[in-house]
Structure 1
Amino acid sequence: MKTNFKSLAIIALGAFALHSCSSDDDGGSSVAAPEISNFEYGEGSSHSTEQVAYKGSDIHLEAEINAPGTVSSIELSIHGHDLEVGEGEVEWDFEQTYTDASYLVINPTFHEHVDIPSDIPSGEYHITLTVTDELGNSTEVEGHVDIMDAISLSAFSIDETVVRGTDMHAEFMINAVNGIHEITVDIHGHDLPVGEGEVEWDFEQTYSEGYHELSEAEFHEHIDVPATAPAGEYHILFTIEDEEGNTVEYETHIDVTAS
């Protein structure tokens, strides 16, 4: 009888130990994965949450992280959706891992500003934010942001021909999120022969009065063409610069005729 009781005690003790190990293996004391909430992003200068940002500026990103286990890293990825790369543009893929001391804690708040190049394609970009804790648990959240030109031009109305000795008309709309700094107009001929009584004509002028610091304006000017300008095709370059130093150019041509 004593032998049987002793055997039962050993079996019970072994079962308890096995149960304890199984509880540990099953994650009975594991820490929950991080949670990401209130993920917001938009134009950096105004901390906008409208999910729109502008080339040549920055994007503001912020999120609250509920991480019972200490955070070990926060990864941010931004990339375009098969965007067409235009002339003078380059693809933009942004990836960065943040391991700042302020983030390697329990329940940090993520807040960063990412510079946006001015020479990338406009369009929709995909954002992924991934939070990983010291136990290897990770959580990610995704979103999309429209990255747009800081300066956009539209509604062009520019003379195609002009008689020398009169003036040419140029008109178009400007939208500049950072405000217009100045507008430069450059007109020059294409190796035109200069006849008797004619003078080579190159025009360059900067316009700021009536446009400076406006975020929306109609450029409307009349430019005198000298009566002595050689007839032929002239190249016109409009350059619009905003208050942050971003520029956009628009090129066209005009035929100057003798009569």
Structure 2
Amino acid sequence: MKTKSIKTNFKFLAIIAFLALTFQSCNNDDDSIELGGPVISEFEYGEGHHGEDEDHDHEEEAYAYKGSDMHLEATITSDVKIASISLSVHTHDVEPGDDEVEWDFEKVFTDEKYLVLNPTFHEHIDIPSNIPAGEYHVELVVTDEDGKSTEVEGHVDIMEPITISEPSVDTTVTRGDDFHAEFMINAVKGIHNVSVDVHAHGLTVAEGEVEWDFEKEFEDKYHEKTEVEFHEHIDVPATAPAGEYHIIFTVKDEDGNTQKYETHIDVTKEGAITKA
């Protein structure tokens, strides 16, 4: 009888142990199928930037141009359907200059093509031409239908599409002579033309003098070039009133973007005056 009781107790304990193991196994299975949030990989934005992948093991400096658009792309992996994708571009350290405005871009994408499993995010956003150049912060937030979110971020350098450097312009010129002007131009979209405007305000026109305003567009030597030296000599009439003149050089690219360089020149009285 004692042996039978021991066997009965052993069977009972074995059943309890089996049930406990089964319960624990179920719990482990529950843990193993718990769904995580979205995974964002290969996030690319602007030019010159590549996400970390097998071909690019480090991030390169990202850049984009004012007045153009910025390319953005990311691979999204998700266990449940995506509910929304939010994009933000902003800056805290760049102050607007004259004729510039602050720019903060925010948009929530709920396009049908994104509200699926494992979508690829691909957008191009317009960059205004009147914002300050500098470093901007980019944030991408993906939220799934379970309310779980994942965020990635980076920085992009928004640059001028046209730059003028190394200017050399005469500061004085004798009327009846010419003045020299040169500078380097870089225009990623190609140069359309370079215009020069020379004018003065409030100068007294004496007898034998004629008010002088100079405006001319230079195109032949510069059109469609992306990097070139502007080098011209501009004649000053012998009848021009002496005094200070304002000079504005304006470079226009093929997309309509412009960049200006401004300076002054003194026209002196020395030299012959041709009478009208």
TM-score with structure 1 setting the length: 0.87
1:209 and 1:130 mapped to 2: Cα distance? Answer: 49
Aligned-pair distance for 1:27?
A: 6.1
2:68 and 2:83 mapped to 1: Cα distance? Answer: 29
Aligned-pair distance for 1:50?
A: 5.3
Residue 37 (structure 1) aligned with residue 48 (structure 2): no
Structure 2: tracts of 5 or more residues without a match: 1-11, 49-59, 271-276
Residue 142 (structure 1) aligned with residue 146 (structure 2): no
1:239 and 1:23 mapped to 2: Cα distance? Answer: 72
The equivalent residue for 2:165 is: 154
1:117 aligned residue (84, 106, 128): 128
Return the letter of the residue paired with 2:78. A
2:194 aligned residue (183, 193, 198): 183
Matched pairs, number: 246
The equivalent residue for 1:54 is: 65
1:170 and 1:190 mapped to 2: Cα distance? Answer: 22
Task: Name the CA shift for 1:98/1:247 in 2 (closer, same or farther; >3 Å).
Answer: same
Return the letter of the residue paired with 2:259. V
Moved over 3 A (4+): 26-30
Residue 233 (structure 1) aligned with residue 248 (structure 2): no
| Structure having the higher Rg | 2
Whichever structure has more strand as a proportion of its residues is: 1
- Retained in 2: the 8 A contact 1:195–1:230? yes
The equivalent residue for 1:201 is: 212
TM-score with structure 2 setting the length: 0.82
Structure 1: tracts of 5 or more residues without a match: 1-7
Task: Name the CA shift for 1:98/1:27 in 2 (closer, same or farther; >3 Å).
Answer: farther
Aligned-pair distance for 1:43?
A: 3.7
- Retained in 2: the 8 A contact 1:39–1:61? yes
Deviates more, 1:249-258 or 1:49-58: 49-58
Q: Deviations over 1:147-185 (max 9, x none)?
A: 000011110100111000000111111111111001110
Alignment of 1:243-254 (within 5 A): 243-254=254-265
2:260 and 2:211 mapped to 1: Cα distance? Answer: 24
Return the letter of the residue paired with 2:83. S
1:154 and 1:193 mapped to 2: Cα distance? Answer: 34
The equivalent residue for 1:171 is: 182
- Retained in 2: the 8 A contact 1:201–1:229? yes
Deviates more, 1:113-122 or 1:82-91: 82-91
1:193 and 1:111 mapped to 2: Cα distance? Answer: 61
The equivalent residue for 2:106 is: 95
Residue 86 (structure 1) aligned with residue 58 (structure 2): no
